[in-house]
Amino acid sequence: MNEDEQNQQAADDSAVYNMAAILGGVEMTVRHLDGTPERVKIIAQPIRKAIEAFSEFHITRDEPALIEGLLGKPKARREARKPEPGETEQQFELIPGWSDDILPEDYDVIADKVVELNRPTMEAHIKRKMRLIADLNGGNDKMVADIAAKVLEALAESPYGKALLKQDSSIGKPQPK
């Protein structure tokens, strides 16, 4: 396949993917560590659910929890366990989440698609939030620029943020009013 054919195939794949997203999501098959397949439907989440998931991720930096939350899958959690004789402090054990049971290569594909479908919502939310902050601060551009720099710095430190900044090089640049 020559370069033009490859470009056309990529455009066709993108159009099919975008249409699937518009029509209610994308279904993919992932494999569990034991080889068992599972169909997963990835959708662009409603704004409140997306904000909640990304806000939690901003605090914890737990990408698997972000992906699990946006897919509606069980998250890893700590549960108290019965103390052994002689133990004086409460002990906890980690109960694995859904992501912990998925083959790493399948998790990577799913995580990329989840971010791809939910990125536009979060990007628009962040931009609206920054404009609102600017309006509330009477147009104090220095303060807004400082806040924006901190948000972008936090994004750049996270896997989601790295993907977001890589996909849209206009983020962080002044937007026309």
Give the number of residues written for the chain. Answer: 177
Contact partners, residue 27, CB within 8 Å, separation at least 6 = 39, 40, 41, 42
Count of CB atoms within 10 A of residue 81's CB? 11
**Which residue's entry shows tokens 């409603």?**
46
- Give the sign of the dihedral formed by CA 127, CA 128, CA 129, CA 130: positive
Question: What pLDDT is stored for residue 40 in this prediction?
Answer: 92
Buried b (16+ CB within 10 A) or exposed e, 145-154: eebbeebbee
pLDDT, tens digit, 9 for 90 and up, residues 87-144:
777 778 888 999 999 999 999 999 988 888 887 887 888 888 888 877 777 766 666 6
Task: Name the strand (E) or helix (H) holding 147.
Answer: helix 141-157
Average pLDDT taken over every residue of the chain: 76
Question: What pLDDT is stored for residue 21 in this prediction?
Answer: 52
HEC profile of 6-59: HHHHHHHHHHHHHHHHHCCCEEEEEEECCCCEEEEEECCCCHHHHHHHHHHHHH
Backbone angles phi, psi at 89, to 5 degrees: -105, 150
Amino acid letter, 39: R
Q: Is the pLDDT of residue 177 over 50?
A: no
Question: What pLDDT is stored for residue 34 in this prediction?
Answer: 96
